[in-house]
Each structure stands twice: as C-alpha cells, then as structure tokens.
Amino acid sequence: MDVESQLLEIERKLWTNDTVFYKHSLTEEAVLVFAETGPITRSEAVEAIHVENAEGRRWTQVDFDHVRIARLTTATCLLTYTVAARRESDSSAMSALASSVYVHHSGAWKLAFHQQTPITSHK
C-alpha cells in the first residue's frame, strides 16, 4: 500500500471514535486543535472520545474532499482535506478544513498534529 493510501486509511479510522486506535495511532506528544477546545493533548483527545462514545455521539457519515498529501521529509507527511461529517443525532453535517501531520515512527505512520477549522457559510 502506498503512503497516501496508508495515511487516508488511518485518518478515516480516526473518525470512527475508536479509543484503542487513537492511542495506537497518535504520537505521545500529539497535539490536536479544534475550535471547541483549542489545543489538546493525546490523552485529552482519548478522554474526549470516551465521553463522546458514552453519550452516543459517534460520526455516522464522514466524507473527505480536496485531499492533498505533501511529503515533507522521508519520515514526515502533511495531509490536508475538507471534511463533511454528520453524527447520527444531527440533521445536518458539519464542514471543516482539516490538516494532519504524520511521522513515520517505529515502522508505522503516527499522527503528530491535527487541526480542524470549521467552514461556515457567509451570506
């Protein structure tokens, strides 16, 4: 499997709210940035996923568009995309610009940084 396919597979699976996969797929020093929370650590992200799962707030539809991958070094990649995602209880999807930085560490690609910027309609 090529690097682009590997990174997209990881990114899509991260949207499934699987806490074990999160722990395995993020570096210890990972930072995630969301409009609702600001910067959070790997452990804070895993705890947030636990809470979302307990509240039944899983993503049921996630669509990526405008995907780009830039190989920054042999062991570092930048993945950018737009996402439209909807939770089961929501009537409409949220849209965001997303960026993720992956590092190749111990034989596997791991997420080191992720940021989502909400896309809002301007009228």
- Pick the closest to residue 53 from 10, 102, 20 (CA basis): 20
- The DSSP-derived string for 36-85 is TTEEEEHHHHHHHHHHHHHTT--EEEEEEEEEEEEEEETTEEEEEEEEEE
Does domain 3-118 match CATH 3.30.70.1060? no
pLDDT at 123: 47
Least confident span in 41-45, 86-90, 104-108 = 86-90
Q: What is the pLDDT of residue 122?
A: 52
Among 6, 13, 18, 14, smallest CA distance to 108 is for: 6
Q: Can you tell me the mean pLDDT for 11-30? A: 94
What pLDDT, in 10s, does the model give residues 48-87? 999 999 998 888 899 999 999 999 999 999 999 999 999 8
